[in-house]
Amino acid sequence: MHPPELRDRAIAMHADGVPFRLIWRTLGLPPRTVGNWLYGERARKRRERQPDDRCPRCADPRRPPDAPAAYAYLLGQYLGDGHIVRARRTVLLAVSCDNRYPGIIAEVDAAMRSCGARSVHHRAKIGCTAVSALWNHWPCLFPQHGPGHKHERPIELADWQEPIVGEHAEPFVRGLIHSDGCRFDNRVTVRGRTYSYPRYMFTNESAHIMDLCRRSLDRLGVEWRMSRRNTLSVAKRASVLRLDGFVGAKS
């Protein structure tokens, strides 16, 4: 038997449009094996199998996500800089991560696995790494999925997501700031002495996503203000310290 990672890689390459011949050659497998994975009877059944017990929304009975804190983090990352693409036979969830922060790449990877991904792929691009996983049930977990840019359509939490974001506001905000925000030092020099005022910023074009961020910060007692239409800033010392407790500088 071949390890499931090989099968997932074959399916991922297929979804990327890699020619069949190149897939089995790259993986060093007999074409028959790869053919079965991609087109065989089991592949068809696998796609149609419902419910998929790994998916908390399709499981019978339905249940909340198995790892709610990881889910809240991944939701923040998805709303910030993630996207869901329907390929011919499967669905891809991808989050774009800055190469300067290997810790964030590892955290996104771990969150995808905790939420149900069997294997996670890292694809290096210029300056960033796309962390992605194939699973037909990503749209169940992220019903915010839809055509077009997130800031051009309404982004609302589903009823079942509300309590998760409410109870796990910290990892949710951490995911948002890791994707679309930062912590930076505002340095001011007065009479030869330099003072450092750390701040947090969160930027997003979607008024709805910005509102979700504000609501979570309110819940956590973090004071914020809008420094621009699409930019939120946290500058009060106590609030910065509060964020330092569960966000901190990106790494």
User: Where does this chain bind Zn ion (CB under 5 A)?
Assistant: 55, 57-58, 137, 140
Question: Which CB, 116 or 175, lies closer to Zn ion?
Answer: 116
Cα three-residue angle 148-150-153, rounded to 5 degrees: 75
What is the smallest separation between the CB atom of 143 and Zn ion, expressed in angstroms? Answer: 10
What is the smallest separation between the CB atom of 58 and Zn ion, expressed in angstroms? Answer: 3
What is the smallest separation between the CB atom of 237 and Zn ion, expressed in angstroms? Answer: 44
Question: Which CB, 142 or 224, lies closer to Zn ion?
Answer: 142
Question: Which CB, 35 or 139, lies closer to Zn ion?
Answer: 139
Q: How far is CA 122 from CA 9, 46, 97, 168, in A?
A: 11, 24, 10, 27
3-class SS of residue 109: helix
CB 147 within 8 A of CB 219: no
What is the smallest separation between the CB atom of 158 and Zn ion, expressed in angstroms? Answer: 13
Q: How far is CA 39 from CA 13, 48, 109, 121, in A?
A: 14, 13, 28, 22
CB 84 within 8 A of CB 150: no
Question: Which CB, 117 or 176, lies closer to Zn ion?
Answer: 117
